[in-house]
Amino acid sequence: MSDVYEVLAIRYGHHKRNASENFIGGDPHDLPMPLDYFVWVIRNEQRTIVVDTGFGAESGARRKRELVRPVAEGLQAAGVDVGKVKDVIITHMHYDHAGNNHLFPSASFHLQDSEMAFATGRCMCHPLGNHPYDVDAVAGLVYKVYAGNVVFHDGDEELFPGISLHHIGGHARGLQCVRVKTQRGPVVLASDASHHYAHMEEDRVFPSCDSVSDALEGYNKLRRLGGSSEFIIPGHDPQVMKNYPAYSEATDGWIAKLDSLKTG
C-alpha cells in the first residue's frame, strides 16, 4: 500500500551525562543517563523522506558531543541516496537536528512557521535562547527560504498519505513531531517532544525548554497520536536501539527498524 512506510532510526552521536542534567529540578538518584543522537528515514515504493539532519564533526566537537558515525555514512548504509532525497522534515532547528542540511541539494525542507520566526527573532539576542542553535545552520536554512527550498507549515498537517506533521512546541517554539502509518500501526517520531521515555512517562521536562507548560501538554498530544509508548519514539533515548530490531546484522546498534518489533 502506498500509504504504509518503513521507518528507520539512525544513531549518529552520543553524549555521556547523568540523570540530573536531563530533568528540570535534577534527579535524586543521579545515575548515568546518556543521550543518543538520531536522524530518521521514512520510505516506501513512492518516496523517501529524511527527518532531521543531525550535527557534523565540528559542531559536535564544540559542544563535546561524540560523533559515533557521520550522518551521511548512516544514510548510505540504509540505502539512501542523499542526492535524490526530495523531502526533509526538520522537527526543529537546534544544532543536532538541522546541522547537515547541505547533504540534501535536491530537497525541500519542511518546518513550522513558528520555528523559523523564533530562530531568527528577538529571543536569539540572549545566550540562553540561542545556545541550542547553530548560527551557520540557521543562516543556511534562511538561504534555502530565499532559494524557494523551504515549505512552511502552521500547526498540524498531512504531508503525504500516511505521514502527518503535528506542532508540539515546548522544547523549541516550533517543535513538530511526525506520525507515520506503518505495518504495525501509527509510529510517532517524537523528536525532542520527549528526549527519553522517562520524560513522557513521568511528566518531567528536559532543562532546555522554551515553554514548560507546552512541553507538558505535548506529552498528552503524543499519547493521543500514538496511543502508548510502544508507538512513540523518543528523540534521544539509547533504549530505542534495544527495543527495535536492527535494519541488518551489520547495522546492529546503529540502525533500527521502528516499523517492526523484536521477536523472541
Task: Return the domain boundaries, the chain.
Answer: 6-257
pLDDT given for residue 263 in this prediction: 77
Cα-Cα-Cα-Cα dihedral sign, residues 245, 199, 137, 88:
positive
List Cβ neighbours of 164 (8 Å cut-off, separation of 6 or more).
156, 157, 158, 178, 179
Q: Cell numbers at residue 179, please?
A: 506520525
This prediction has a pTM of 0.97
* pLDDT of the residue at 102: 97
- State the pLDDT confidence band at 215, using cuts at 50, 70 and 90: very high
Kindly report, residue by residue over 102-113, the tens digit of the pLDDT: 999 999 999 999
The CATH number for 6-257, chosen from 3.60.15.10, 3.40.50.1110, 3.30.70.141, 3.40.50.300, is 3.60.15.10
Distances in Å between the alpha carbon of 235 and those of 13, 28, 83, 117, 200?
A: 12, 23, 25, 23, 11
For residues 17 and 52, what is the distance between their CA atoms, to the nearest angstrom? 23
- Please compute the mean of the pLDDT values over residues 216-243 and round it to a whole number: 97
Q: How many CB atoms lie within 10 A of CB 164?
A: 19
Cα torsion angle, 130, 39, 24, 164, sign: positive
